[in-house]
Amino acid sequence: MFRLIQNALKHAAQETQEYVKLTVAAIRAIFSPPLYRHDIVEQFDAIGVGSLTVVLLTGFFTGAALALQSGLTLDQFGARPVVGRLVSASMVKELGPVLTGLMLTGRIGSGIAAELGSMVVTDQINALRALGTDPVRKLVVPRVLAGFFMAPVLTVVADFVGVFGGWLVARFQLQVASSLYWSSTTQALYIQDVWMGLIKPFVLGFVIVTIACYVGLRTRGGTQGVGRATTIAVVAGSVAVIAVDFFVTQVLVSLLY
Confidence of residue 203 (pLDDT cuts 50, 70, 90): very high
If you average pLDDT over residues 25-44, what whole number do you get? 88
Main-chain dihedrals φ then ψ at residue 68, nearest 5 degrees? -65, -50
pLDDT in tens, 97-118: 999 999 999 989 898 999 998 8
Range of the domain at 234: 35-256
Residue 63 lies in a domain: yes
Residue 24 lies in a domain: no
Average pLDDT over the chain, rounded to whole?
A: 88
Report whether pLDDT(80) > 80. Answer: no
Residue 89 lies in a domain: yes
Task: Count the domains in the chain.
Answer: 1
- Position 32 scores a pLDDT of 84
- Contact residues for 122 (Cβ-Cβ < 8 A; gap 6+): none
Report whether pLDDT(2) > 80. Answer: no
Do residues 205 and 148 touch, judged by C-beta distance below 8 A?
yes
If you average pLDDT over residues 204-232, what whole number do you get? 89
The Cα–Cα gap between 50 and 186 comes to 30
Residue 175 lies in a domain: yes
Do residues 64 and 181 touch, judged by C-beta distance below 8 A?
no
Give how far the C-alpha of residue 130 lies from the chain's centroid of Cα atoms, to the nearest Å.
Answer: 34
- Position 69 scores a pLDDT of 87
Q: What is the pTM of this model?
A: 0.89
Residue 3 lies in a domain: no
Residue 19 lies in a domain: no
Residue 26 lies in a domain: no
Residue 21 lies in a domain: no
